[in-house]
A and B are shown apart, each in its own frame.
With several copies, the nearest count.
Chain A
């Protein structure tokens, strides 16, 4: 199942629901350019549970119609300029959530359940604006006790970056178990990795503990420094200067276009 980035990108089709991880978990930034080149638009992006640079760039490239998220930002580099602009102009539909609600929706899909209940949310404008969520009275209490039900989130495609995969398609995700949650919930899971190892990651209990089995992995491509300018836990730190450079450039449509066409989309090796 070892492919290249373009082959992975071709598996994303217009209108799909695309799950992408939080900035510190393993963002496959290496896939951003191939996704934009592929050009499949009208995407419904699900941030697990928040989004950053990749989401901002996909929005800037005009590929996104809906963002379902608990937040989008560039962290230390400030607000996400293309996201903020698209919200302001109404160019994208925003489905504001809260982190545990995104996790609950994915967990419902993981469990094959139609929904998961969660505490909190009552009285928020987050809930008020989510017509797709339901409130019921907790049936285990005699009266009252409203509780929110979050419907299952079933992405068509999950895309993330991890340190390594083996020749058998197993991917090492370490303690970043939201990556497993995304894969469990999604129909297709596309993974980029720093490297391929020869021995099965399931062959010993130590590496197996942090492994997403190939059962849940659709396709893999090698992309060294594939999270850049984000960091990858245990591998390399975030390139904050580059994030700031992007944040400044992307304030305007032209600046964004300039940035995206630039050579700096490649990581320094």
Chain B
């Protein structure tokens, strides 16, 4: 299990999440978000190993990782108090200004495609300092020029109370940073196996980028060892299906013959 061993694309995502979270004291993760949860768990394990300040993780809807005792309002109260440093947000559509649409495509209210709804995004995006936009599907139907409905805006006019917002956008193809001053995204790195042209094709909005973007770094041996050991064990408790899938994928990667034979 050395640094040179093959690495799953999802392991890169998880390690990237951990990097993006570096420095947070408390991160909240949605109920069905195994990759963000794994990233948070990886950061916690790394900090623990290094003897640094502990990282607190709240997984919504989980019984195991639910540290709240005041009903479903507590997450939002907690964020309002400034006690949550980072949160993840997906989106049916995300546009180049960091606007997020969780409601529907097409007209409103009679959307042609209806998604569940805005959940807490219209609040949390304003008050959680580091919101990480995470969507594996990287396609022009997700990353649009302008969202059809603003569940939560990327930036706000001067004078509007705002201490939170988008920090980065992580997809299956690459990592973007959000520039709060300009209110747009800049490509930070491209994941192994992808390239700038492909990302441009798959993205419906314009974004800043260097002429030759860097490649997203792979986790080092120590990180990978924690991820494949302690973190996978922790993950199995909350996301057993996801953890099993990843373990199967990993086995296939490391021993293709055995995987096929099994």
Spell out A's residues near B (CB within 8 Å): 22, 24-25, 48-50, 69-73, 75-76, 79-80, 83-84, 87-90, 93-94, 96-101, 103, 107, 109-113, 118-127, 129, 144-147, 175-181, 184-185, 202, 208-216, 233
Q: List B residues 90-123 near A (Cβ within 8 Å).
A: 102-104, 108-112, 114-123
Q: How many residues of B contact A (CB 8 A)?
A: 54
| Residues in chain B near residue A180, CB distance under 8 A | 69-71
B153 contacts partner chain A, Cβ-Cβ < 8 Å:
yes
Query: Within the complex, which residue of B72, B104, B121, B149 is in contact with A49, where a contact is CB–CB below 8 Å?
Result: B72
Per the bound structure, the CA–CA distance linking A208 and B161 in Å amounts to: 34
| 7 pairs of A and B residues whose beta carbons are closest in the complex | A112-B80, A71-B117, A177-B71, A98-B122, A120-B123, A73-B116, A178-B71
Query: Within the complex, which residue of A48, A109, A211, A214 is in contact with B81, where a contact is CB–CB below 8 Å?
Result: A109
Number of residue pairs A-B, CB distance < 8 angstroms: 182
Per the bound structure, the CA–CA distance linking A144 and B109 in Å amounts to: 30
B68 touches A119 (CB 8 A): no
| Residues in chain A near residue B119, CB distance under 8 A | 50, 70-71, 98-99
Are A124 and B122 also in contact (CB < 8 A) when A88-B111, A110-B81, A113-B80 are?
A: yes
Per the bound structure, the CA–CA distance linking A50 and B119 in Å amounts to: 7
Are A124 and B152 also in contact (CB < 8 A) when A103-B73, A119-B126 are?
A: yes
**B150 to chain A: closest CB distance in Å?**
5
| Residues in chain A near residue B116, CB distance under 8 A | 50, 71-73, 79-80
B83 touches A215 (CB 8 A): yes
B82 touches A112 (CB 8 A): yes
**A255 to chain B: closest CB distance in Å?**
18
Query: Within the complex, which residue of B76, B83, B110 is in contact with A100, where a contact is CB–CB below 8 Å?
Result: B76
Query: Within the complex, which residue of B63, B68, B120 is in contact with A98, where a contact is CB–CB below 8 Å?
Result: B120
